[in-house]
Structure 1
Amino acid sequence: MIIPAIDLIKGQVVRLHQGKFNIKRKYLHKPFFYIKKYLKQGAKKIHLIDLDGAKDPSKKQIFLLKELSKINFISIQIGGGIRTQTDIDFVFNLIPNAQVILGSSIIKNLNNVKKWFKLYNPYSLILALDIKFDKNYKKIVFINGWQNKSNIIFEDIIEQFLNIGLKYVLCTDISKDGTLLGPNINLYTEIVKKYPEIFFQASGGVSTLKDIKNLKKSGVKDIIIGRAFLEKIFSFKEANLCWQKE
Structure 2
Amino acid sequence: MSFILYPAIDIREGRVVRLRQGDYDAETRYADDPLALAKRYAEAGAEWLHLVDLDAAKAGGWTLGPLVEAIRRETTLKVQTGGGVRDDGDVLTILGAGASRVVIGSLAVRQANRVLGWLERFGNDRITIALDARADDAGVFRLPVHGWTEASGLALFDLLKRYADTGLRHLLCTDIARDGMLAGLNLDLYREIATRFPEVSVQASGGVASLDDVHGALAAGAGGAILGKALLDGRFTLAEAIAAIDAKGAAVGPSKETA
User: TM-score, normalization: structure 2?
Assistant: 0.90
Indicate conservation of the 8 Å contact 2:203/2:224, yes or no: yes
SS in 1 for 2:133: strand
Aligned length: 245
- Distance, in Å, in 1 between the alignment partners of 2:157 and 2:49 is 27
**Residue 14 of structure 2: aligned partner:** 11
Structure 1 counterpart of 2:172, one-letter code: L
TM-fit CA distance, 1:68:
3.7
Other structure's SS at 1:149 match: coil
The runs of at least 4 aligned residues of structure 1 exceeding 3 Å deviation read 58-72
Inter-CA distance 88–71: structure 2 relative to 1 (3 Å threshold): farther
Consecutive unaligned residues of structure 1, counting only runs of 5 or more, are none
Q: CA deviation at 1:31?
A: 0.5
Aligned residue for 2:25, secondary structure, equals strand
**Contact 1:76-1:99 within 8 A present in 2 as well:** yes
Partner of 1:239: 241
Deviation for aligned residue 1:62: 4.5
| Structure 1 pair 43–122 and aligned structure 2 pair: CA distance change class (3 A) | same
Give CA-to-partner distance per residue, 1:156-193, whole Å, 9 cap, x none. 11121223211011000011011111111111111111
Within a 5 Å distance, the mapping from 1:97-176 to structure 2 comes to 98-176=100-178
**SS of aligned partner of 2:132:** strand
The answer on 1:81 being equivalent to 2:84 is yes
Aligned to 1:53: 56
Q: 1:71 aligns with which of 66, 69, 74?
A: 74
In the TM superposition, residue 121 of structure 1 has moved relative to its aligned partner by: 1.3
Aligned partner of residue 156 in structure 1, secondary structure: helix
C-alpha change, 1:230 and 1:136, in structure 2 (3 Å) is: same
State the TM-score, normalizing by the size of structure 1: 0.95
Unpaired runs of 5+ residues, structure 2, are 249-259
**Bigger mean CA offset, 72-81 vs 213-222:** 72-81
Quote the sequence identity (%): 32
C-alpha change, 1:92 and 1:170, in structure 2 (3 Å) is same
* Separation (CA, whole Å) in 1 of partners of 2:106 and 2:236: 32
